Amino acid sequence: MEKVVFTTKTKKLEVNQDIVRMKEKQKGTLSIKFKSPDKSEIEEIIKFFESLTDMEPLTMNIADTGEIKAYFRGTGSLDTIKEGERTLHAYEATIQELIE
């Protein structure tokens, strides 16, 4: 299973790539959405991102393709979504890509 890895100076979060969706909101600003039927998996993601401060530097590495340097910008709320018979838990974080 391919991973998306988020790293700060003191913390690291590895997430299965299949629960991650990314969308560019504005140039360099990425909205990262996590969606999973496993609430504890989403809670671990929330714990990581809520421990960050605004503009804290971090890196993101998608399936070992190389580190993307960014700043943390903020989070959304934990949402519960019904998709047919499944209940999914969703959470969103926003990062600003560091353009060098």
Strand, helix or coil at 82? strand
Selection from 45, 47, 39 nearest residue 4 by Cα: 45
CB 10 within 8 A of CB 1: no
Q: How many CA atoms lie within 13 A of 58 on its CB side?
A: 27
Into how many domains does the chain fold?
Answer: 1
Q: Other CB atoms closer than 10 Å to residue 24's CB: what's the count?
A: 10
Residue 43's identity, in one-letter code, is E
Burial class (CB in 10 A: 0-12, 13-18, 19+), 12: exposed
| Domain encompassing residue 29 | 3-97
Mean pLDDT by 10 residues, the chain (100 residues): 94 97 91 96 97 95 94 96 94 92
Measured between alpha carbons, how far is 98 from 100 in angstroms, rounded to an integer? 6
